[in-house]
Amino acid sequence: MPNLVKTALDCERFGAEGITVHPRPDERHIKYQDIYDLKKVVTTEYNIEGNPTEGRFIEVVLANKPTQVTLVPDALSNVTSNAGWDTITHQEKLKTLVKTFQDAGIRVSIFVDPDEKMIEGAKATGTDRVELYTESYADGFDTDREAAIAPFIQAAQKANELGLGINAGHDLNLDNLSYFHQNIPGLLEVSIGHALICDALYLGLENTIQLYLRELGN
């Protein structure tokens, strides 16, 4: 409980524009079977994110062919994602992975910190998009939102200059989402999980999704 497939369908019905899952080898957040079950029913964007060097990730992504795969360098020991890729050090490995997924018709996004050099490194891999890791923005938002968002604006400008699509995620919520959306040029997509579910406990799932869409101007 709740039924995962029904919940995903309800999220779409309530206005969500995509469903994201993040499988890990220990299946603590999502089971591999859930990915196959969701593939059969999701009609909006389907995004599978995770570490492509662990477990059955590549196999499962290629078997389900989601709209997008987001490559995240989190280790099994991590409670949650805590850093973007070093797209320079791991460039050759990422190039191979990007090509593997793109050859299967899957759009690729690489999880990166808001660093222009990491954006440039991502471009060199051939990826379609980058996902900006927004924890530092969320942490600094209440203290100095202009300072917190400054590196993200620079990173987004570099991504736009290089022709990369821009996604974002991690610790975005109803308090900080609108300001981020208003200030990041070319922002295409945000992934929000934990905060949305926390809000839904108090506000209800349908209402919460509508509130997040409103923060994005939808």
Supply the residues annotated as catalytic.
Answer: 22, 49, 170
Contacts (Cβ under 8 Å, ≥6 apart) of 56: 23, 25, 32
Half-sphere exposure of 203 (CA within 13 A, CB side): 15
By three-state DSSP, how is residue 205 classified?
helix
Asked if 71 and 85 touch (Cβ cutoff 8 Å), the reply is yes
Q: What is the CA radius of gyration of the chain?
A: 17
Would you call 2 helix, strand, or coil by DSSP? coil
